[in-house]
Structure 1
Amino acid sequence: MSPKVSLLGLKASQFRHPVDQEATAALSQLPGMDWAIRSLLGGMAEQVFYLDNISSSVLVGEQQLPDLFQLLQEACQVLDLEVPQLYIKQNPVPNAYTFAMRGKQPFIVLHTSLIELLEPAEIQAVIAHELGHLKCEHGVYLTAANLMMLAVGQLSQWGAVLAQSLQMQLLAWVRCAEFTCDRAGLLVTQDATTMASVLMKLAGGSPTLSPQLNVEAFLAQARAYDQMDHELSTLLKSVRTAELTHPLPVLRAREIDRWANGATYQDLLSTQKTEIGWRNW
């Protein structure tokens, strides 16, 4: 990998996406949210989820998958963040997630199918995206969203209706937070093409098809989607995203492409080098 700027002293406010800021503020004011958080994170559900993961996954370290551990360490150095645990879980669905449980070290989980789909630099981009949740202290709401999606089916009818309403609010917040974490991925990779490639492969890649995919064509596709702004397409976009845990891949690609070509991102790298300090490795 090419040398990277290490963003010593980096603060979340320096790269947080505006929609994330707005959504987080709105979520904190939502009636019933404090009750939901206490209910979900105060009982056994959080502990069960934690134990289920560590008992059925492989913990990455210096003696276990050291190449992945090095990617994690480097990403943490760039973002100026303590190193969390990283687990690899056997799963045919490409995915990654972050879990922050009170009183325990936070951890990241990567599915095996995701690792098989991506190149090392792209895997690091995913790790950095997940680290973005920790850097921005998304952990409590993110954990609550994960647990609530598991719990809705176990609640009474009244409780399920309330939980589903809160779940929709949490999912809307998660989608906004994802834009911020994509920026964390870019800060680590320092290569917008790598970020776009990850999103492209998640949208329509496979170990067989991935070498044939074209990033520039995917970005052109994202721009075409964004230009569809008449009333019907706006309605369809809203319906399409309402129950998703992540924004549509083309929208994420568009957002990261814009930020990578904007002054804020370039100024952040140069400012961090000159004012906070930097190192290459």
Structure 2
Amino acid sequence: MITMGFLDDAKNLGKSVKDQVGVKVEEKMDAKNDDATPVVPVIRIENAHDFCHNSDKQALEALQKVPLIDTVMKKMDKYWSSHMLKMNNLASNIKLGPNQLPEIYNLLPPICDYFGIEEPDFYITLDPNPNAFAQGVDQFSITVTSGLLEMCSAEELTPVIAHEVGHIVCNHMMYHQMGLYIASVGASLGGASQLALAGLESAYNYWSRCSEFSADRAAALYLKDAAPVVNMMVKLSGGSKVFGEINVQEYFNQAVEYERLKTAEVRSKVAHYAETLMTDHPLNAVRAFEIEKWCQTDEFKQLIAKGNLKTEVVREHIFCTDCGAKNVNESKFCSGCGKNLEVA
């Protein structure tokens, strides 16, 4: 299990610096976005917590308590533009559909049907690195890289696509976009103002790593098996050429040894902290071992027995567009002015 100890340090760092430079950060954010786009709602998926990893839930709770998060979330909720993201994808990438690479596109609809969500836009982008990612706050998209397509067959892409759908289903998208927003804003700041965001960024990166475990579970649930997810981790670690010769049990043993070493002594803990501080994905071997263990539990078997994991989609605002109050309890109505926060 990944330790959550450094979240306290991250929160304390953010708190101490906020007292000194928090106002400067807010001013710079305002200056950066004076002519930005209108407020847009986000989509929240209900009934998705049945399979979310506990570390995902706990890390998200800790992230939500970090100083400055309300400021960052409010700015992002006000200025994020899915319209601009879609325009960029349409102009630069290849959009998949029934008449565009249908062998790959046809992997997506049954996954979305299984979880009961609308299909996100589906793109391929030119990038030699094997990767895939989901984007959006009120409109979602999934993008796979050309490097991933060169490494995998169409069938092998299924766990990858299901994993990205899992991020949507598990309500990760708003916070993943927040991570991009932090990086964008942080790059324009300097000195103490940049340091003020360090605690928030550290907590975000930890939660982001934990969120990958939940998305892996979504893929395993759709496929009713850990093996395709594990095989993808192996390929991402060693490539296609030696894939058929890899001893998967030895690969799992790497994760066991890693977990032992990272807590064996103080210098190992420091090394682990330094290694993962600014990393937003857990190590592949650790993810593979984690999903293998979970798929042997009664929890996994009971979820499989349910069949399709239908969810309920709600469109809402995180901050009230009339009075600016935060929607703390995910209520349908604003606690400040009573405005209906759900969007038809």
1:61: which partner in 2?
97
Change (3 A) 1:238 1:71: same
Give 1:234's match in structure 2, choosing from 246, 269, 282. Answer: 269
- 1:37·1:144 contact (CA, 8 Å) conserved in 2? yes
Once residues 168 and 238 of structure 2 are traced to their aligned partners in structure 1, the CA distance between those partners, rounded to angstroms, is: 28
1:31: which partner in 2?
67
1:5: which partner in 2?
none
Query: Alignment partner of 2:133: what SS?
Result: strand
1:215: which partner in 2?
248
Query: Alignment partner of 1:97: what SS?
Result: strand
- Tell me the number of residue pairs that the alignment of Structure 1 and Structure 2 aligns: 264
2:152: which partner in 1?
118
Query: After superposition, what is the alpha-carbon deviation per residue over 1:164-189, rounded to whole angstroms, capped at 9, x for unaligned?
Result: 33222211111111111110111122
Once residues 73 and 224 of structure 1 are traced to their aligned partners in structure 2, the CA distance between those partners, rounded to angstroms, is: 39
2:166: which partner in 1?
132
Amino acid at match of 1:133: H
2:180: which partner in 1?
146
Query: Alignment partner of 1:227: what SS?
Result: helix
Alpha-carbon shift at residue 96 of structure 1 (Å): 1.2
Once residues 254 and 35 of structure 1 are traced to their aligned partners in structure 2, the CA distance between those partners, rounded to angstroms, is: 37
Amino acid at match of 1:233: S
Give ranges in structure 2 of 5+ residues lacking alignment: 1-44, 311-344
- 1:10·1:80 contact (CA, 8 Å) conserved in 2? no
Query: Alignment partner of 2:281: what SS?
Result: coil
Give ranges in structure 1 of 5+ residues lacking alignment: 1-8, 277-281
Change (3 A) 1:115 1:147: farther
1:279: which partner in 2?
none
Once residues 85 and 44 of structure 1 are traced to their aligned partners in structure 2, the CA distance between those partners, rounded to angstroms, is: 18
2:30: which partner in 1?
none
Query: After superposition, what is the alpha-carbon deviation per residue over 1:133-158, rounded to whole angstroms, capped at 9, x for unaligned?
Result: 11111111111112322342222433
Give 1:96's match in structure 2, choosing from 127, 132, 140. Answer: 132
Once residues 208 and 165 of structure 1 are traced to their aligned partners in structure 2, the CA distance between those partners, rounded to angstroms, is: 41
Change (3 A) 1:171 1:49: farther
Query: Alignment partner of 2:282: what SS?
Result: coil
- For the aligned residue pairs, the C-alpha RMSD in angstroms reads 2.5
Amino acid at match of 2:179: A
Change (3 A) 1:80 1:214: farther
Q: Name the TM-score, length of structure 2 as normaliser.
A: 0.70
